[in-house]
Amino acid sequence: MGFAALTDSYPWDAIAPYAERARRHPQGAVDLSVGTPVDPTPAVVQEALIAAADAPGYPTTHGTADVRETVAGWFARRRGVVGLDPQAVLPTVGSKEAVALLPSLVGAGPGDVVVHPEIAYPTYDVGARLAGATPLATDEVAQWESRSDVKLVWLNSPANPHGAVRSVEELAKVVAAARRVGAVVVSDECYAELAWEDPYRTGGVPSLLDPRVSGGSHEGLLVAYSLSKQSNLAGYRAAFLAGDPALVADLVRLRRHMGMIVPAPVQAAMVAALSDDAHVSAQRERYGARRRILVEGVTAAGLVIDHSEAGLYLWVRPEGPAQDCWHTVADLADLGILVGPGAFYGPAGSGHVRMALTATDERVAQAAARLQGA
């Protein structure tokens, strides 16, 4: 896919015929194809947004001091990252735009390589191409550690679509190699609060900025984080980047030129969301319950779940010989269940489908019952 292909196709349009097929089920479709939250935005967050509705002036691109200090406090409280400089925090308009723009904003261009996970959220590839750089899809450090043209290395832990989590040791290995070749490492950690299996459920998902990973210096490192999933806030577009103070200062200057600013009421809502851990754990419980029900249904149907130890998805394939994901998408559509084809995340994903936990309890129970009867 070259740059032109980005403008004339959007992969998700390809599942429309299967959505149609799933809708024919007498009890209606269960849409597990996208990870869009369906539970209410917490009242504490809505109230903060409303209280900040009078906003005649331009908001600050760098974010209010309140936002930046709250993010630093969240990292210390929830992610084991103490002492993050609030100056090294930058709110973004959701994290998708940040993912798409970062290669350009760190100066990657023709002749540069942007590394991203082999099976990955497609926007890493899109962002590399928008910058004119070359994407390299690999999980193997050995594939790039002796190159001189690597400008940026993406990590995504817990990963979309398959839910694998990177250990402290794995993250540290990437950081060491990237520092040797002079590349920036950006870790997209937007599912960090949704860990289902140990050691991550009890011990937390390690952050790139964790001192055991960074060695105590955030130089060349950034974390992208989003409130969309943990706080049912996808409609607000609330996210942030944090890490290297010098990199963040450059990004702030560039984004001021671009007018890439988070609206003031959303900045206020971010402060409320990141200051309240109770709604995040309530949401985790909800997803955990849905996950248990769906896992039972999927297993009863003779399907196999790989990875999926964290995040909002089950990474599923039929037992036995590999089957092309589009066949599985079709089989599930006949049960009225719409899922995402693994091929959307790279050729290595083409034997799997992705099932999201983002449906109501009623729809998830329906899906499980249909799978159990299959």
Ligand X SMILES: Cc1ncc(COP(=O)(O)O)c(C=O)c1O
Q: 81, 94, 86, 143: which is closest to 118 by C-alpha?
A: 143
Asked if 121 interacts with ligand X (CB under 6 A), we say yes
CB atoms closer than 10 angstroms to residue 5: 9
**Burial of residue 302 (number of CB atoms within 10 Å: 0-12, 13-18, 19+):** exposed
Residues between 27 and 56 that touch ligand X (CB under 6 A): 35
DSSP code for 88: G
**Residue where the block lists tokens 């980047």:** 241
Looking at the Cβ atoms of 264 and 312, the one nearer to ligand X is 312
Q: Which helix (H) or strand (E) holds 367?
A: helix 361-373
| Alpha carbons 306 and 328: distance in angstroms, whole number | 15
**Strand pairing class (150-156; 134-137):** unpaired
Q: How far is the CB of 239 from ligand X (least distance, A)?
A: 4
Which stretch, 89-97, 215-223, 335-343, 355-363, contacts ligand X (CB under 6 A)?
89-97
| Alpha carbons 307 and 294: distance in angstroms, whole number | 15
Interface residue with ligand X among 72, 99, 248, 273 (CB under 6 A) is 99
Looking at the Cβ atoms of 234 and 270, the one nearer to ligand X is 234
Looking at the Cβ atoms of 226 and 283, the one nearer to ligand X is 226
CB atoms closer than 10 angstroms to residue 8: 6
Tokens of 10: 């959007």
Q: How far is the CB of 336 from ligand X (least distance, A)?
A: 24
Q: 124, 122, 138: which is closest to 9 by C-alpha?
A: 122
Looking at the Cβ atoms of 184 and 368, the one nearer to ligand X is 184
Looking at the Cβ atoms of 64 and 156, the one nearer to ligand X is 156
Tokens of 32: 């597990």
Asked if 160 interacts with ligand X (CB under 6 A), we say yes
Q: How far is the CB of 372 from ligand X (least distance, A)?
A: 28
Q: How far is the CB of 73 from ligand X (least distance, A)?
A: 20
Q: How far is the CB of 158 from ligand X (least distance, A)?
A: 9
Looking at the Cβ atoms of 160 and 267, the one nearer to ligand X is 160
Q: How far is the CB of 331 from ligand X (least distance, A)?
A: 25
Which stretch, 61-69, 94-102, 287-295, 365-373, contacts ligand X (CB under 6 A)?
94-102
C-alpha distances in angstroms, 304 versus 299, 331, 354?
A: 6, 15, 12
Residues between 167 and 206 that touch ligand X (CB under 6 A): 188, 190
| Alpha carbons 124 and 262: distance in angstroms, whole number | 21
Q: How far is the CB of 301 from ligand X (least distance, A)?
A: 25
Q: How far is the CB of 351 from ligand X (least distance, A)?
A: 20
| Alpha carbons 338 and 19: distance in angstroms, whole number | 6
**Burial of residue 365 (number of CB atoms within 10 Å: 0-12, 13-18, 19+):** middle
Count residues near ligand X (CB under 6 A): 14
Interface residue with ligand X among 156, 187, 207, 283 (CB under 6 A) is 156
| Alpha carbons 233 and 134: distance in angstroms, whole number | 33
- What would you report as the CA-atom Rg of the chain, rounded to the nearest whole angstrom? 20
Looking at the Cβ atoms of 240 and 301, the one nearer to ligand X is 240
x/- mask, ligand X, residues 310-339, rule CB under 6 A, reads: ------------------------------
Looking at the Cβ atoms of 74 and 336, the one nearer to ligand X is 74
Looking at the Cβ atoms of 160 and 232, the one nearer to ligand X is 160
Residues between 224 and 283 that touch ligand X (CB under 6 A): 226, 228, 234, 239
Q: How far is the CB of 233 from ligand X (least distance, A)?
A: 8
Asked if 127 interacts with ligand X (CB under 6 A), we say no
Q: How far is CA 177 from the centre of its chain?
A: 23
Angle between helices 361-373 and 278-300 (to 10 degrees): 20
Binding site for ligand X (CB under 6 A): 35, 94-96, 99, 121, 156, 160, 188, 190, 226, 228, 234, 239
